[in-house]
């Protein structure tokens, strides 16, 4: 069986939001830190901190509702999904976002389209 640390982190965030937790923890990795930076910059999480090989993720709520309605892994270890910049579609007509791994690093789908960069579509959030 293939493990997928990114999917595990997304599931931890999803379950933490459903349980109304303020903070969730996940083992650390560089790619997870980059994903969390994009989520924080896009205002989907409040903050994250690295503490002793564990990342603490501070979840964000609005009127007691979890800000993230859905978070879904797109490209998986067994089936990688790559898109050209023109092939990256808007999520929910622009109300959500996708995180894309490009040669210039991780960025949102909007940034990737503006910079005309394609790449691997890691996940989508709304």
Task: Check residue 62 and give its pLDDT.
Answer: 95
For the chain, 126 residues long, give each residue's pLDDT as a single digit of tens: 568 999 999 999 999 999 999 999 999 999 999 999 999 999 999 999 999 999 999 999 999 999 999 999 999 999 999 999 999 988 888 789 999 999 999 999 999 999 999 999 999 999
CATH 2.60.40.2480 fits 5-66, yes or no: no
Q: What is the pLDDT of residue 93?
A: 81
Model-level pTM?
0.93
Domains 5-66 and 71-125 share a fold: no
Q: What's the pLDDT at 94?
A: 79
* Terminal Cα-to-Cα distance of the chain (whole angstroms): 29
Please report the pLDDT score of residue 91 as a whole number: 87
List, as own/partner pairs, every contact residues 12-21 make where C-beta atoms lie below 8 angstroms and the sequence separation is at least 24, other chains included: 12/57, 13/45, 13/57, 13/59, 13/68, 13/71, 14/68, 14/71, 16/57, 16/59, 17/59, 17/66, 17/67, 17/68, 18/66, 20/61, 20/64, 20/66, 21/59
- At 18 the pLDDT is 97
| Domain segments of the chain as ranges | 5-66, 71-125
A 10 A CB-CB count for 89 gives: 12
Cα–Cα distance, 80 to 73 (Å, whole number): 11
Helix 5-18 with 30-41: angle, nearest 10 deg: 40
Q: Tell me, what's the pLDDT at 1?
A: 57
Domain 71-125 architecture: 2-Layer Sandwich (3.30)
């Amino acid at each position: 069986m293939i493990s997928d640390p990114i999917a595990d982190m997304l599931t931890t965030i999803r379950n933490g939001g459903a349980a109304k937790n303020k903070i969730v923890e996940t083992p650390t990795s560089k790619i997870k830190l980059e994903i969390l930076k994009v989520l924080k910059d896009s205002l989907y999480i409040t903050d994250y901190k690295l503490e002793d090989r564990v990342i603490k993720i501070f979840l964000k709520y609005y009127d007691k509702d979890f800000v993230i309605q859905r978070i879904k892994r797109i490209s998986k270890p067994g089936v990688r999904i790559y898109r050209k910049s023109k092939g990256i579609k808007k999520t929910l007509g622009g109300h959500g976002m996708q995180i894309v791994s490009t040669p210039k690093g991780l960025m949102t789908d909007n940034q990737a389209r503006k910079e005309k960069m394609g790449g691997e579509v890691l996940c989508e959030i709304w």
